């Protein structure tokens, strides 16, 4: 089967949906995110990125891929390597066998990214579908067209050091026994997402949003470190992966598909509510970015209030979503 590149909003959901389609299991990016129960929120002050806390709007890397294994009755092989040489040899062997291979990489070392988009983020997923001379032929889901990458650059991207170091990770399906999504799997996935978002843990779900709001409230408007923290929150939301708003929009698409699959029109209404919540995250990010750029007075309390508003809306949304699939 000839591989067809398709652009996506997020790398991991884009890669896994492309892999599924290539192997005869039609799947949208939205379905991949929703069926894997990957939507979430986490404020993790004990994990640092450049000295600042990790803030995530989705489950950890590989959660989307691994979350689809059970509902699609799929088996994937995941391989890591001790050296770039071993990783390249294995990749070349798989490509020679006609295998489509997923990789975890660092954005910073991928030269086809514009310089202003490169930063040290080690969990960027892409697909390799061939090799031409010393260049790998890559389907990077965040780009409109396929791209090329020299072997040396790809090796650096695959074996970057630091948080979430990929260690040459590659993955590919060994079997996908279920080619269509069933209603029971969709309901199960929605219930899991609801549990995650309403979890009674202060750093996860809506409670995690409120914990971040308290941290934001405690910032001093006159301390330069406050601007660094606010800028970091915006970066984690809008630049790392797809961000707060983006993941909500993708999940809204999943709810639209679920409404048809489950014959529950109320899920279409829930989808529209979630789009509005995503717009709220966008507004929060815009306000924070204006403060960071000096176009608006630094006001941590106003940002904290907006975070609490988002938390309240999401708590109400997920309680209603739970009722909708009861």
- 262 in helix, strand or coil? helix
Task: Please tell me the predicted confidence (pLDDT) of residue 1.
Answer: 59
Q: Which domains does the chain have, with CATH numbers?
A: 11-40+59-176 (3.90.70.10), 183-324 (no CATH)
Nearest-10 crossing angle of helices 300-324, 224-238: 30
Task: Please tell me the predicted confidence (pLDDT) of residue 163.
Answer: 79
- Condensed to tens digits (0 to 9), the pLDDT of residues 228-247 reads 999 999 888 876 655 678 89
Edge to edge, what strands does the sheet with 170-176 contain? 74-79, 170-176, 101-105, 124-132, 135-139, 147-150
Query: What is the residue-level pLDDT of the chain in tens, covering all 326 positions?
Result: 589 999 998 899 999 999 999 999 999 999 999 999 999 999 999 988 778 898 988 888 899 999 999 999 999 999 999 999 999 999 999 999 999 999 999 999 999 999 887 877 888 999 999 999 999 999 999 899 999 999 999 999 999 998 789 999 999 999 999 999 999 999 999 999 999 999 999 999 999 999 999 999 999 999 999 999 999 998 888 766 556 788 999 999 999 999 999 999 999 999 999 999 999 999 999 999 999 999 999 999 999 999 999 999 999 999 999 999 99
Burial classification of residue 84, based on how many CB atoms lie within 10 Å of its CB (0-12 exposed, 13-18 middle, 19 or more buried): middle
């Amino acid at each position: 089967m000839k591989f067809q590149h398709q652009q996506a909003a997020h790398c991991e959901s884009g890669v896994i949906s492309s892999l599924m389609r290539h192997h005869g299991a039609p799947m949208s990016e939205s379905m991949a995110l929703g069926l894997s129960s990957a939507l979430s929120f986490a404020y993790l002050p004990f994990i640092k990125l450049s000295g600042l806390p990790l803030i995530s709007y989705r489950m950890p890397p590989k959660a989307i891929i691994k979350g689809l294994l059970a509902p699609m009755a799929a088996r994937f092989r995941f391989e890591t390597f001790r050296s770039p040489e071993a990783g390249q040899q294995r990749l070349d062997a798989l490509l020679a066998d006609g295998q489509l291979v997923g990789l975890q990489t660092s954005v910073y070392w991928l030269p086809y990214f514009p310089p202003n988009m490169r930063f040290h983020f080690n969990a960027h997923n892409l697909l390799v579908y061939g090799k031409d001379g010393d260049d790998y032929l890559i389907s990077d889901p965040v780009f409109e067209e396929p791209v090329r990458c020299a072997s040396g650059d790809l090796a650096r991207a695959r074996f970057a050091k630091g948080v979430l170091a990929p260690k040459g990770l590659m993955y590919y399906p060994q079997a996908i026994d279920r080619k269509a999504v069933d209603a029971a799997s969709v309901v199960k996935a929605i219930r899991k997402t609801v549990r995650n978002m309403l979890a009674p843990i202060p750093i996860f779900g809506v409670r995690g949003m409120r914990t971040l709001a308290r941290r934001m409230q405690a910032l001093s408007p006159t301390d330069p470190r406050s601007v660094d923290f606010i800028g970091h929150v915006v970066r984690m939301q809008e630049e790392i992966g797809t961000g707060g708003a983006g993941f909500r929009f993708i999940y809204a698409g999943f709810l639209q598909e679920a409404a048809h699959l489950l014959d529950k029109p109320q899920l279409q209404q829930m989808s529209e509510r979630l789009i509005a919540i995503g717009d709220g995250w966008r507004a929060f990010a815009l306000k924070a970015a204006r403060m960071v750029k000096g176009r608006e007075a630094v006001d941590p309390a106003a940002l904290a209030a907006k975070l609490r508003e988002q938390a309240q809306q999401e708590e109400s949304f997920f309680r209603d979503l739970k009722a909708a699939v009861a």
